[in-house]
Amino acid sequence: MKVDVLLGLQWGDEGKGKIVDVLAPRYDVVARFQGGPNAGHTLEFDGIKHVLHQIPSGIFRSKTRNVIGNGVVLDPIVFQTEIGKLSKYNLDVRSNLFISKKATLIIPTHRLLDQAQEKAKGDDKIGSTLKGIGPSYQDKIGRQGLRVGDVLSPSFREKFNKLVNVHMEILKLHDVSFDWPELEKAFMDAVKFLKTFNLIDSEYFLNQELSAGSTILAEGAQGSLLDIDFGSYPFVTSSNTVTAGACTGLGIAPRHIGEVYGIFKAYSTRVGSGPFPTELLNEEGEALRKEGNEFGSTTGRPRRCGWIDIPSLKYSIMINGVTQLLMMKADVLSIFPSIKACVRYQLADGKVTDQVPYELIHERITPIYEELKGWNCNLKGLNEKELPIELVHYVEFLEAQLGVPISLISTGPDRKETIHRFKK
Ligand code: GDP
Ligand code: IMO
Ligand code: MG
């Protein structure tokens, strides 16, 4: 058996949560491989709307086991709150959720450092979710981080104090106010709670599942254009959000990777700072935000909106080895009589390219658009055969541009509002 990977091709919020939940019944295991509480993955079904942050989006499917992998940065306080919010659904979370001992812990000072670092950047701020992501990955790479498995050690408190002291020295240089005894107590309570869950050697768990013939879906967080290596650096997150991140974030060898599902919105959005060539700073952008309800699932911030960006999608498809595309939010484009798609960029020196330039940040990019006729009709309840011809043309146009089949079209936030075109 292989591990299929589902990940975002844009700047996050493509609809990963919805589709992992839709596909989860086909899989024995769903595993998150990077990111942490910066993610907000929304699921809608049976009149319920629920946002997950660190817990994999297979959790509502009773036969699917869920793994938080070693590549994740886990905040125990957020974890406790998330579990609390799930309690009303009567799920068997304790038997269906497994957490890697090698996942990195986010401690309260990481969140304070995130605030301090962003404040110090002034106008150049990343627009971080302030969940402590950057500082916790810094400590991981700096070889001084704490890991989930450490909570089982008798010397955990000592290790924790040592790291807190390092952080406090840095925080002294910044103007951040906090009530440490309160933060520390909340963290220690949450650690006690975390210890009551299945803390496992997830790399063994997953490889044994593979050997036993189980099917596994790796769930990405953020999007490829926020990847630490390939995103619009420095306006990125601090992890590898691409397919390779599933290998390092789960302990899965590259030869075990199967399908790579690349998920994208039928247009583009971005939350936080950084370049966005097709951003619409006009009433069309406003209309997309309103119709698509484009407000962050984690922070509530309004998302920046624009037309679809084919050069950047091609780039993401290349880096990830995408085998099938999943197109989300087709219904949102129904408001427009015509739709634009950026097919190439014109750079400041007049050069036209379909590649993403190194200096995306400082390069003045003028998108070159192709205009397509819109469908201007309600897609609710339609099946594949009933789709308006203009939408079929949009899908065929994207498939031809991107060279990868579109295997799923999403026409609304609910599980049921999903058109499957999978070949297998
Ligand atoms: P994720 O981070 O990739 O899981 O995506 P988010 O949950 O942050 O953002 C996607 C938003 O779009 C959520 O509010 C979803 O409920 C919603 N959504 C997902 N698919 C569709 C769709 O096809 N149409 C519409 N209108 N909304 C959708
Ligand atoms: P999901 O999984 C959209 C953005 C932030 C900021 C940058 C760095 O829901 O798609 P960080 O908190 O990681 O230091 O922020 O990345 N960002 C996201 N944008 N969706 C997300 O996750 C995001 N996670 C982080 O807005 O610009
Ligand atoms: Mg999200």
167 in catalytic set? no
Structure-model confidence comparison of residues 24 and 363, the more confident one: 24
CA of 173 to the centre of ligand 1 (A): 40
Check pLDDT > 90 for residue 319. yes
Range with lowest mean pLDDT among 32-41, 304-313, 345-354: 345-354
Q: How buried is 213 (Cβ within 10 angstroms: 0-12 exposed, 13-18 middle, 19+ buried)?
A: exposed
**Residue 175 a catalytic site member:** no
Q: What is the pLDDT of residue 55?
A: 98
Spatial distance between the Cα atoms of 276 and 46, rounded to a whole number of angstroms: 36
Beta bridge partners of 325: 262, 406
Mean pLDDT, the chain, integer = 97
Residue burial 52-81, b: 16+ Cβ < 10 Å; e: rest: bbbbbbbbbbeebbbbbbbbbbbbbbbbbe
- Residue 424 has what pLDDT? 61
Pick left, alpha or beta for residue 35 (phi over 0 → left; psi -120 to 50 → alpha; otherwise beta). left
pTM: 0.97
Which-ligand-closest: CA of 272?
Answer: 2
Counting from 1 in the atom list of ligand 1, the atom nearest the Cα of 332 is: 26
The active-site residue out of 13, 139, 227, 309 is 13
Identify the nearest ligand to the CA of 35 by its number: 2
Task: State pLDDT tens for residues 88-101.
Answer: 999 999 999 999 99
How far apart are the C-alpha atoms of 49 and 40, rounded to whole Å? Answer: 12
User: Tokens for 348?
Assistant: 């400041």
The token duo for 223 is 């999007």
pLDDT in tens, 271-310: 999 999 999 999 999 999 999 999 988 888 999 999 999 9
Kindly report, residue by residue over 59-78, the tens digit of the pLDDT: 999 999 999 999 999 999 99
Phi/psi of residue 341, each to 5°? Answer: -130, 125
Check pLDDT > 70 for residue 212. yes
Inter-helix orientation angle 108-121/180-194, to 10°: 130
| pLDDT tens digit sequence for 106-125 | 999 999 999 999 999 999 99
The CB-side HSE value for 259 (13 A sphere, CA atoms) comes to 20
CA distance 391 to 417: 15
Residue nearest to atom 16 of ligand 1 (CA): 413
What's the CA-to-centroid distance between 296 and ligand 3, angstroms? 7
Residue 213 has pLDDT above 70, yes or no: yes
Tell me the per-residue pLDDT of 162-191, one tens digit each, with 9 for 90 and over: 999 999 999 999 999 999 999 999 999 999
Q: Name the token pair of 296.
A: 């962050």
SS3 75: coil
- Residue from 84, 93, 69, 79 nearest 191 by CA: 79
Q: Which pLDDT score, from 0 to 100, does residue 106 have?
A: 99
Give the residues surrounding ligand 2 with Cβ less than 6 Å away: 8, 11-13, 35, 38-41, 126-129, 131, 133-134, 221-223, 226, 237, 271-272, 297
For the chain, the residue count is 424
User: Which residue has the CA at smallest separation from atom 6 of ligand 2?
Assistant: 128
What are the b/e assignments for 280-297, b being 16+ CB within 10 Å? beeebbeebbebbebebb
Name the pLDDT band for 423 (thresholds 50, 70, 90): confident
Residue 361 pLDDT: 72
Q: Which residue ranges have their beta carbon within 6 Å of ligand 1?
A: 8, 12-18, 40-42, 44, 292, 297, 328-329, 331-332, 410-413
Nearest atom of ligand 2 to the alpha carbon of 14 = 10
**Residue among 9, 18, 226 whose CB has most ligand 1 atoms within 8 A, to mutate:** 18
- Pairing status of strand 257-265 against strand 324-328: parallel
Q: Which atom of ligand 2 is nearest the CA belonging to 274?
A: 27
Residue 323: Cβ-neighbour burial (10 angstroms; 0-12, 13-18, 19+): middle
| pLDDT of residue 360 exceeding 90 | no
- Structure confidence at residue 28 as a pLDDT band (50, 70, 90): very high
The average pLDDT across 221-231 equals: 98
Q: CA–CA separation, 113 vs 234, rounded Å?
A: 17
DSSP 101: T
